Structure 1
Amino acid sequence: MAHEPEAQDRGQRPGERLARLLRRWWEEAGSASGGTRPTQQALASRLGIDQTTLSRYLNPKHASTAPPRVVEALHAHLRAPAAELERARELCRAVLEENRGQAAAVDGPEPADAASAADAAGGTGGRDTPGRPGRSRWALPALVAAVTVLSFAAGAVVRDQYVPHPRTAPDGVAAGAVPASGAPLEWPLLMKREGDQFTRGRALQHLLRAHGYEVKADGFFGAGTRDAVMDFQRRNNLPSDGKVGEDTWPELVVPLGRGADGHAVLALQELLHNAGQGGTEVSGEFTAATTEDLRFFQNSHGLRPNGRADVDTWLALLVFQRAPAGAPAYQRSTSPLPSTPA
């Protein structure tokens, strides 16, 4: 039976209302048919996300919001009332609209408002007065001043995009929090070492393959990956130290959009899948679903939701990666584990 919106939902933000609805779906699963409610661990496994991420989506007090495809999958797996699916979709859309509204409030006036700002600065109200100089005298200087102000504001917005909205990382650290120093996000540093470097390492190797290097995308930064990095650095007039940091990442990442394919898209999709929102298909083809997931990530981290992988989006994706709770699937299917030769 479909439920009416609960009284406690009133006054709550769309993200909280969505989480409360999803949690009710889970708590009531199996009651109507006499079945057994799935554990969160089992449900997360069916959805292709980790249990911690699912718990956040079901927690109204947490800032994480389930993306539309995860909401639809939960509705199907939990056999929730059919009438409530559209309500959940509306709440997803409301969350995105709320995020866009917050971004617009930060952006300030649109460039199209420059002319009206110039009129106000000129004091003519947009009309010439007989016997007095009107637009011809004041419009150009005022327009220049207005454009200067807007340019400064735009620069501030671009800078602010490096500081995402606060979110809780898997280790309990505020993953999107502004550092005490006020510094922007920093590119992660990868280098040759023992052990799997997980999704960041695989993304690096996929990007190297996109640039023509035959390296294995296994997450292990061994001698072969180091040599490829050093050659890439030499070819791009970078310090050839074999370390991938703030100088090398911006040259390695590739602008991507709908219709792209290949290893760079694999890197993007693996990072999206492991960013905590769950469920991104890793196919090597930049599909409509990839665009939707990318826009959701951008909205969630204070970036412009254009659905394209620009440098700022790559940076945020590489920063907000989750460590695996256990051995990743590619490790479990590999025996023995890849080695890192000297």
Structure 2
Amino acid sequence: MAHEPKDQDREQRPGVRLAWLLRRWWEEAGNAPGGTRPTQQALASRIGVDQTTLSRYLNPKHTSTAPPRVVETLHTHLRAPAAELERARELCRAALEENSRQRAAGPEPEPTGGTDTTDGGTTDGGTTDGGTADGTTDGAPDGPGAPNRRRSRWTVPALVAAALVLAFVAGTVVRDQYAPGSRTPTDGAAAGAAPVSGAPNEEALQWPLLLKEKGDQFARGRALQHLLREEEYEVKADGFFTDETQEAVMAFQRRKHLSPDGKVGKHTWPQLVKELGPGAEGHAVLALQELLNNSGQGGTEVSGRFTAATADDLRFFQRSHGLVPSGRSDVQTWLSLLVFQSPPVHAPEYQRSMSPFPSAPA
């Protein structure tokens, strides 16, 4: 049985405490009269997330980022004590606020130790006997490798100086290339990197550039294809930017009087995205839900129907990224959603169905 830790600094973080609490709910689910502890696979299916995501939520070796709706759903399905729901909500809010601050400051190294990938528990990591935190051996005398270590002190400054020179040259080229009147609007590689003002945290965000290539472009690719389907272009929403998708993009660009380069960047995205709110239906809603579901907060139902739960998830995302929590998808919200995507994952189970509106997870 999981016992919530008390002493160590890291274990006092709200995300870790939330993970311990959710883990205990799951482990104790079978203790109540008539209760049966579900497998993580079955539980993930019930709450509408994949098993890997749920495993991280329940693993104290990671700071849990389970959103409020998932926490509440777990509380219901696991028949957890009613008195612990409000405490879980408070930990959830604190954990997600901390996570947003960390994302703004930069990535934090994961703690050592394995990830809980089964229903049985976690796998502890280890260190090498006699090793120190920096990978050297205590008390080891300077040997043949010592001169190399001394020379390495000059490596970083040299690389920094080289990077500054390259940045200066690249800045000059870009300035000349995009001087007024130098070229017509296009979504080419450099154009797609243009900043957009008014972004969260006073930083300029950039519309991601999507173009034809062999690899799966995951949630961003599927969102693009759903937006094209909203414009009545018959493309398969599978995340792969093929000839079919490129032709649809070029046709859309011609219709909007854009340069038909077949690339989706700073000029094309704003023309594709739509303001959506409660009651909306269709492929644009699917695109919005695809991005919400893969934004790191987890658990958004991808149904093609803008429900109250979709609005709640959207407001939570907006608050977490310094946007007005309107519960509607304006252009700035679409931009933030496209930028702040979690690392790519395999296409979700529902995506294998080619029905226009995927069924909600069972």
Q: CA deviation at 1:329?
A: 1.9
Q: CA deviation at 1:293?
A: 0.6
Q: CA deviation at 1:37?
A: 4.6
Cα distance, 1:275–1:212 mapped onto 2, change above 3 Å: same
Query: Counterpart of 1:53?
Result: 53
In 2, Cα distance between the equivalents of 1:23 and 1:84?
13
* SS of alignment partner, residue 338 of structure 2: helix
Query: Counterpart of 2:227?
Result: 207
Query: Counterpart of 1:324?
Result: 345
8 Å CA contact 2:200, 2:321 repeated in 1: no
Deviates more, 1:11-20 or 1:191-200: 11-20
Choose the corresponding residue for 1:218, options 232, 238, 263: 238
Which deviations, in whole Å up to 9, do the C-alpha atoms of 1:281-336 show, x marking residues without a partner? 222222211110111222333433222212222122223144224x53256557xx
Deviates more, 1:221-230 or 1:301-310: 301-310
Cα distance, 1:200–1:84 mapped onto 2, change above 3 Å: same
In the TM superposition, 1:117-132 aligns within 5 A as none
In 2, Cα distance between the equivalents of 1:272 and 1:225?
22
In the TM superposition, 1:142-157 aligns within 5 A as none
Query: Counterpart of 2:311?
Result: 291
Which deviations, in whole Å up to 9, do the C-alpha atoms of 1:245-302 show, x marking residues without a partner? 2221122111222232222111101211222322222222222111101112223334
Percent of aligned pairs with the same amino acid: 72
Q: CA deviation at 1:220?
A: 2.9
In 2, Cα distance between the equivalents of 1:73 and 1:9?
29
In 2, Cα distance between the equivalents of 1:63 and 1:250?
35
Cα distance, 1:260–1:328 mapped onto 2, change above 3 Å: closer
Query: Counterpart of 1:276?
Result: 296
Whether 1:158 and 2:198 are equivalent positions in the alignment is: yes
In 2, Cα distance between the equivalents of 1:225 and 1:332?
18
* SS of alignment partner, residue 285 of structure 1: coil
Cα distance, 1:69–1:9 mapped onto 2, change above 3 Å: farther
Which deviations, in whole Å up to 9, do the C-alpha atoms of 1:93-151 show, x marking residues without a partner? 6668x68xx9xxxxxxxxxxxxxxxxxxxxxxxxxxxxxxxxxxxxxxxxxxxxxxxxx
TM-score (norm 1): 0.62
Cα distance, 1:302–1:211 mapped onto 2, change above 3 Å: same
Choose the corresponding residue for 2:256, options 236, 243, 252: 236
Q: CA deviation at 1:193?
A: 2.7
8 Å CA contact 1:41, 1:51 repeated in 2: yes
Please list every run of 5 or more consecutive structure 1 residues that lacks an aligned counterpart in the other structure: 103-156, 164-183, 335-342
8 Å CA contact 1:197, 1:220 repeated in 2: yes
In 2, Cα distance between the equivalents of 1:303 and 1:59?
30
Q: CA deviation at 1:188?
A: 2.2
8 Å CA contact 1:260, 1:286 repeated in 2: yes
Cα distance, 1:28–1:162 mapped onto 2, change above 3 Å: farther
* SS of alignment partner, residue 158 of structure 1: coil
In 1, Cα distance between the equivalents of 2:282 and 2:261?
27
Cα distance, 1:50–1:82 mapped onto 2, change above 3 Å: same
Q: CA deviation at 1:207?
A: 0.9
Query: Counterpart of 2:29?
Result: 29
CA RMSD for the aligned pairs? 3.5
Which deviations, in whole Å up to 9, do the C-alpha atoms of 1:209-248 show, x marking residues without a partner? 2223233323332222211211221222322110112221
In 1, Cα distance between the equivalents of 2:344 and 2:242?
20
8 Å CA contact 1:17, 1:60 repeated in 2: yes
Q: Which amino acid aligns with 1:235?
A: R
* SS of alignment partner, residue 198 of structure 2: helix
In 2, Cα distance between the equivalents of 1:8 and 1:306?
40
Q: Which amino acid aligns with 1:324?
A: V
TM-score (norm 2): 0.59
Query: Counterpart of 1:78?
Result: 78
Number of residue pairs the alignment of both structures matches? 254
In 2, Cα distance between the equivalents of 1:266 and 1:276?
17
Deviates more, 1:227-236 or 1:74-83: 74-83
8 Å CA contact 2:19, 2:63 repeated in 1: no
Q: CA deviation at 1:203?
A: 1.0
Q: Which amino acid aligns with 1:270?
A: E
Q: CA deviation at 1:63?
A: 5.2
In 1, Cα distance between the equivalents of 2:244 and 2:326?
36
In the TM superposition, 1:308-319 aligns within 5 A as 308-319=328-339
Query: Counterpart of 2:170?
Result: none
* SS of alignment partner, residue 206 of structure 2: coil
Whether 1:65 and 2:86 are equivalent positions in the alignment is: no
8 Å CA contact 1:201, 1:220 repeated in 2: yes
Q: Which amino acid aligns with 2:51?
A: Q
In 1, Cα distance between the equivalents of 2:311 and 2:353?
29
